[in-house]
Amino acid sequence: MAEQLIDLKVIDPNPYQKRIAANREKVIGIAFSIATDKMLQTPTGRWVGKRFQSAIGHTRTESYRLNAQIQAGLANGKNYPKDVTPEHIEAVKVAVAAGRDFAVMPWVVDELSDEQMYRYATIENNQREDLSPIEKMEEMKGWVAFGYNSQQIAALYPGMSDATVRGLLYFDQLPKEAKAALHEGTISQGTARALLSMQRVAPKEKVTAVIKKIEKDAGANTPEEVIEEALDHLSTAEDMWNEKRRDGKPRSAWNNGWLLDMKNFPNKLLPSLTAEDVAVALDLRDNEKAKKLVEEYIEYLDAQSAEDASEPDNAALNEEVKAAAQATLDKLTKLNQDLAGKLQHLVNPPACTACPFYTKVRGSHYCGMKPCHARKTVAWHRNLIEQASKNLGIAIYDKGDGGYRVLDGYDHRALFNSKHKGLRLIPRKMYNSYTYQHFDGIESDVALVVATGDAVEKMNGKGKSAGGSKMTEKEKAERRMMKIYRMRRLEVMWEYTAVAQGMFESVPEPVLKKLRTWENILIDDRIPEDKKRASESKGAEYQRRALVWQLIMGMSSHYSRESLTKQLTKFQELAQVKAPKALINRVTEWDAEIEAAGKAVSTATPKKGKKA
């Protein structure tokens, strides 16, 4: 190391120093000190070709430049910087008269590596107290570029943990709008982490929209409330579990779901994938190249599963197919890494909590890959049905069993308890009409018990037809009636909200939103989409009607058979708001319509021994 006088014209800042704008007041203060007392500590730098780079000492360099400006002004009698004092100008004048030249600056010249230069830059940076989380993140990224891991980086900073380093590096995944907001201090690190969680399940444009809404709603709603509301209405995410509403370990659904941290999930029961299913799930309609690679990959998977690996010849063939499948996946990864990752998760999904498409925000658990959630749901229900079949001794239905009739939970309890050999289990989705059996050992929203063969005769004509058995006229009429009933029920509820919404007239819209807890509303009790779309633009009025809807929905039910007139009476008693005569008359007409639809078509059945 040697000390040299370096011309200011060839001095450049440390290339790793991101903050090159120096504090002007500090520059002036140091410049005055240098003019009167000289520089107390000589900074260090290195030569790179014909240019000189400062390792540290950026502010001192700027102070020298300021004194050089004053020196030039003394030479021509003008052009002094406007923000320096006469005393400062006089100090430079005295120093120049004593033989000092501020156009050159003393430096300790050393042979420094890039890593040493970076270390000097971070030392200088951390002398500041106002580094933003984004500036700290950039600093951590620099160490990563030099081959350091998070533990090694943490060791460089007293009091910093490995987790803190990883948390700062995580901010690099934020969209630029969020980084800017975090850098400027308009959002906190906690909000930034919530945005990162949202980003795992939401498209980038949705995250950007939420950032704008956070700024717009400042003071009315907390950032976390804005994020949670956006996630609850996100069509691409599955809202699985809310810890504030439910007890126990988080599951994939409020009823009969699998544990989110389940490691031994029955992947063998996952439904087979087709190239068409994957193309729809991953939205490959406009990406022919990716679509073709996916088709190839699925073909290889099918070939693998078709071969018996226990056969020596097939084992070698299987390895070839596996290698070909991996080569195809590598091509897809190169084309679109995100698509390749989603495809792998569809094929062989991990535990939800270990999945990159899972996130948790304020106690709510979300899956960002609905097709995978749907596929795992099918497998899980298959698993539950297999377990129920084993425990109950009732076989799972097969097409060869022929037609079947669904047991009634009350009329056929004895038949169920007898474990008749003709009883079978069918997946709930095979039966479209409403029924709830309440049989021990099987959940009715997973599977239903049906009668086949001789067991049908044991039902004494009771039960519901399905699966090849002809539907009775009574069943047809009941289905028509319930369809009309459910449609009119929602009409009554929505019409009454227009009447009763005045009770919330003085409540501000932001408060109305906070009063609503949509997690408590089942899908069959939500406001119909056509009503919602037509009314949302009305702002506070829609929020008031939605709140009334939430209040009265407990007085009604999707599965109820109570007259609409009685339900409307309950609404009025609860809200203490009378319905207009026009609505009461309309509801009376609807009840008559429902009753008419429920009347079975009677057909004369000839008695034995008599002609019709």
pLDDT by residue (tens digit) across 126-145?
A: 877 678 999 999 999 999 99
**Among 29-43, 202-216, 377-391, 535-549, which stretch is predicted with the lowest mean pLDDT?**
535-549
pLDDT tens digits, 438-485: 899 998 889 999 999 989 888 865 555 555 556 667 667 777 888 888
**Dihedrals φ, ψ of 105, to 5°?**
-130, 135
> Which pLDDT score, from 0 to 100, does residue 521 have?
45
Contact 237, 367 (CB under 8 A): yes
CATH number at residue 25: 3.90.1530
| Residues 448 and 505 reside in one and the same domain | no
Instruction: With residue 47 as reference, give the H or E element that holds it.
Output: strand 44-48
Structure tokens belonging to residue 215? 């700024």
pLDDT tens digits, 395-418: 999 989 988 899 988 888 899 999
| Residues 463 and 526 reside in one and the same domain | no
- Per-residue pLDDT, averaged over 568-572, amounts to 91
Residue 607 counted as domain residue = no
* Domain final residue pick, 123, 144, 162: 123
- Per-residue pLDDT, averaged over 285-307, amounts to 81
* Domain final residue pick, 470, 485, 513: 470
| Residues 461 and 530 reside in one and the same domain | no
**Among 151-160, 224-233, 339-348, 596-605, which stretch is predicted with the lowest mean pLDDT?**
596-605
Between CA 389 and CA 405 the distance in angstroms is 18
Contact 497, 545 (CB under 8 A): yes
How large is the C-alpha radius of gyration of the chain?
37
> Which pLDDT score, from 0 to 100, does residue 551 have?
83
| Residues 524 and 456 reside in one and the same domain | no
| Residues 555 and 506 reside in one and the same domain | yes
430 contact partners, CB below 8 Å, separation of at least 6: 397, 448, 466, 467
| Residues 95 and 62 reside in one and the same domain | yes
Average pLDDT, the chain: 85
| Residues 578 and 492 reside in one and the same domain | yes
Structure tokens belonging to residue 96? 């120049």
> Which pLDDT score, from 0 to 100, does residue 519 have?
39
Residue 561 counted as domain residue = yes
Q: How many domains does the chain have?
A: 4
Contact 385, 427 (CB under 8 A): yes
Scanning the structure block, which residue is given the tokens 């209040």? 551
Residue 174 counted as domain residue = no
Contact 245, 519 (CB under 8 A): yes
Residue 576 counted as domain residue = yes
> Which pLDDT score, from 0 to 100, does residue 487 have?
87
| Residues 422 and 443 reside in one and the same domain | yes
**Among 52-61, 72-81, 261-270, 395-404, which stretch is predicted with the lowest mean pLDDT?**
72-81
Query: DSSP of 470-504, one letter per residue?
Result: PPPHHHHHHHHHHHHHHHHHHHHHHHHHHHHGGGG
| Residues 438 and 414 reside in one and the same domain | yes
| Residues 459 and 489 reside in one and the same domain | no
Between CA 192 and CA 214 the distance in angstroms is 11
